[in-house]
Amino acid sequence: MNEKTYKLAHLDRQKLIVAARKALIAADARYYAWTPEEQERFRATMSEDARRRVQRVLLDELLDIKCRTDEVDEAWESVPLTDLNPLNWARLLTTGVGDDYIYLNECMAEGKTLLDFSTLYDYDYADYLFQEEARKRDFPDYGSMAYYAYQHPSWVRLLIHEQFYYSTFTSLAT
């Protein structure tokens, strides 16, 4: 059986790592003086200002796009889809948690991060309760729906064997 070639093998992983490190230093110069736990908490709870500084450095280092911090959202949005993979990989290194740098591309309640949950089940069940409450608040006639795992799959980014992947969390449980 032929082994598939990794789709993003052409990307210079070392360049992505260096860009991510520079970006984290730009976000907070003390980053590499912190414990691994403090670094992970920072990545998961980064302020909007720190996030913009990270993105500005990544745009400059990886795509040679120069912009001011207050222009970074617009600059990021204008990046062609063909150039997003290296940006998203480096960004994962600045936002992901755990050994695989998992990043859920999902909205969470204010002040919540993946670090607040022991398991993905805990996250999913809390999200279910949050969604049910929002539906009841927004639609007074709403009838509750029973919980089952990952009723709505979560889109994630993560590293597997130090390679970047887009993925979806689902469950066979019903």
Residues 6+ apart with CB under 8 A from 129: none
51 and 68, same domain (yes or no): yes
90 and 118, same domain (yes or no): no
> Is the residue at 63 inside a domain?
yes
Amino acid at 78: S
Total domains in the fold of the chain: 2
Pinpoint the alpha helices (H) of the chain.
13-27, 36-45, 48-63, 72-77, 84-95, 120-138
* Per-residue confidence (pLDDT) for residue 127, from 0 to 100: 87
pLDDT in tens, 82-134: 899 999 999 999 999 999 999 998 877 778 899 999 988 898 898 889 889 99
Residues 6+ apart with CB under 8 A from 13: 162
Looking at 60, 76, 95, which one is the last position of a domain? 95
Separation CA 82–CA 99 (nearest Å): 27
Looking at 62, 95, 128, which one is the last position of a domain? 95
Looking at 63, 95, 127, which one is the last position of a domain? 95
pLDDT in tens, 37-93: 999 999 999 999 999 999 999 999 999 999 999 999 999 999 999 899 999 999 999
Q: What value does the mean pLDDT of the chain take?
A: 91
The whole domain housing 156 covers 98-174
Helix (H) or strand (E) holding 158: strand 154-160
